[in-house]
Amino acid sequence: MQTLKIGDNNLHFRDEGDPGGAPVVFSNSLGTDLRLWDDVVALLPPGLRIIRYDMRGHGLSDCPRAPYAMGAMVHDLEGLLDALEVRDAVLVGLSVGGMIAQGLAAKRLDQIRAVVLSNTGVKIGTKDLWQERIDMIAAQGLAAMSDAIMERWFSRKFRKSGPMAPWRRMVETTPAEGYAGVCAAIAGSDFITPTSGLRLPAMVIAGSEDGATPPDLVRDLAGLIPGARFELMRGAGHLPCAEQPRDYAALLTDFLTSIGHGRAS
């Protein structure tokens, strides 16, 4: 198991592929861990350096006491990439991972040369909504909420025919403190100003059946970054990399090719 101490917390990560290859970094969503990207990573072209990690309070990373600040979560990834001596990476972030990507791209253009912002926005939900979620976690636990989370995450078709058990288990085994901590970070975040100032290659991906970050929210984000490419994955929900990994990997590979990143070019 690969871990690094970043600040006061140990972060679990995987650094795979070609050590000298063009780096592609993945940041996952609330209630998931780095396995979210398994099927996509397996379909990417050779010659890339693939870095994934579990954000604080998730997976095998440390779970500090809630609440968390988004700035601290951005700093976690910044510190990890510094420790791994990563520069000029393409950063792929989904949901809260996409918010982290926006924050890090605005802060460290030496680390990040391009972004893929998936199923995310400059602001997601309201403070009241996230406080309700935090209160429900304290009162009922994540297992009681997992049905509602599955409905927000996945299209109706996938919920009927897809492998739901692993995703439900991933949510239910996330530490309640970690889930609530990240909810607090999302509640306090609005990236409209820093994201409006981004000037770098960007692809923005939405799922037509996304119940957490609807397509219009994601499209609005794309409109803030000059030249950003917007892609709508039809029939997919909040985690299109899980529902349609082949199509997602094809979009990502095409984007890497278009900006000359790695052997994909």
Whether the predicted pLDDT of 265 surpasses 50: no
- Say which amino acid occupies 249: A
The yes/no answer on whether domain 2-259 falls in CATH 3.40.50.1820 is yes
Task: Write down the pTM of the prediction.
Answer: 0.97
Supply φ then ψ for residue 129, to 5 degrees: -60, -45
Is pLDDT of 5 > 70? yes
Q: What is the mean pLDDT of residues 96-101?
A: 98
pLDDT digits (tens, 9 = 90+) for 126-151: 999 999 999 999 999 999 999 999 99
pLDDT at 263: 65
CA 143 to chain centre: 22
The predicted model gives 115-124 an average pLDDT of 98
> Angle 177-95-264 (CA atoms, 0-180°, nearest 5)?
130
DSSP strand pairing (9-17 vs 2-6): antiparallel
Residue 162's pLDDT is: 85
Residue 234 in contact with residue 157, Cβ under 8 Å?
A: no
* Residues forming a β-bridge with 90: 24, 114
Confidence (pLDDT) at 231? 98
Percentage of the chain beyond pLDDT 70 is: 99
Q: How many CB atoms lie within 10 A of CB 82?
A: 15
| Domains of the chain by residue range | 2-259
